[in-house]
Amino acid sequence: MEQSNKAFSDALIKSLRGERGHLPIKNALLDIDVALAGKRREELPYSIYQLVKHMAYWQDFLLLSAQGDKPELPKDVKESWPEETCPESEEEWQQLIQYFLQGIEQACTIAQTGQLSKPLENWPSETPGGVLRNIASHNSYHLGEIVLIRRLFGAWPPPTGGYPI
């Protein structure tokens, strides 16, 4: 991998994991229990659970795209948001967090091993690097909402601290 591609790859990986400008994503999620995940307030459009499900939905979609597949776009963006506000159990919630974090690591593997600047056959205006950057920015955007929701419910900072390490 040439030097500029390695630098881009390294920056992508840090952004995907949340090591650029905010705390690592896993640190903001791992201590959330099922009760907090499903908590709602009238003025909030969604719960933490709904946010993580939405993030996982688009992360899956974009990972498939980055690998050359052509997943079908939802007919309406509402399809990417779950109707249920909370998981059925602690086990379901923990599985969702692990699934989401594994998707981040899958994206990091693509960033390390893929041809990041080669146009995608099924999406010629985009590259794997661009798609991974989209994952990082989408996750970062919603992570900010998760942090704000945690603050509103007095569940901030996490045990790891609330600032980048």
Inside any domain, residue 36: yes
Residue numbers of the domain that contains 110: 3-152
**pLDDT tens digit string along 107-124?**
999 999 999 999 999 999
Query: Phi/psi of residue 123, each to 5°?
Result: -150, 70
* CA quadruple 133, 139, 140, 144: dihedral, nearest 10: 170
pLDDT band at 129 (very low <50, low <70, confident <90, very high): very high
User: Phi/psi at 42 (nearest 5 deg)?
Assistant: -55, -40
- Within-domain flag for 158: no
Residue 163 lies in a domain: no
In a domain, 8, yes or no: yes
Domain assignment present for residue 127? The answer is yes
In a domain, 165, yes or no: no
In a domain, 164, yes or no: no
Query: 59 in helix, strand or coil?
Result: helix
Distance CA 65, CA 47 (A): 27
pLDDT higher than threshold 60 for residue 93: yes
Residue 1 has pLDDT above 60, yes or no: no
112-117 long-range Cβ contacts below 8 angstroms, 24+ apart: 112/9, 112/13, 114/66, 116/5, 116/8, 116/9, 116/12, 117/5
Give a yes or no: residue 159 inside a domain.
no
How many domains does the chain divide into?
A: 1
Supply the CATH number for residue 11's domain: 1.20.120.450
Q: Are 86 and 49 in contact (CB under 8 A)?
A: yes
Q: Torsion angle, CA of 91/96/97/101, rounded to 10 degrees?
A: 140
Estimate to the nearest angstrom the gap between the alpha carbon of 74 and the chain centroid.
18
pLDDT above 90 covers a percentage of the chain that reads 90
Q: What is the pTM of this model?
A: 0.95
Q: Write out 114-148 in H/E/C secondary structure.
A: CCCCCCECCECCCCHHHHHHHHHHHHHHHHHHHHH
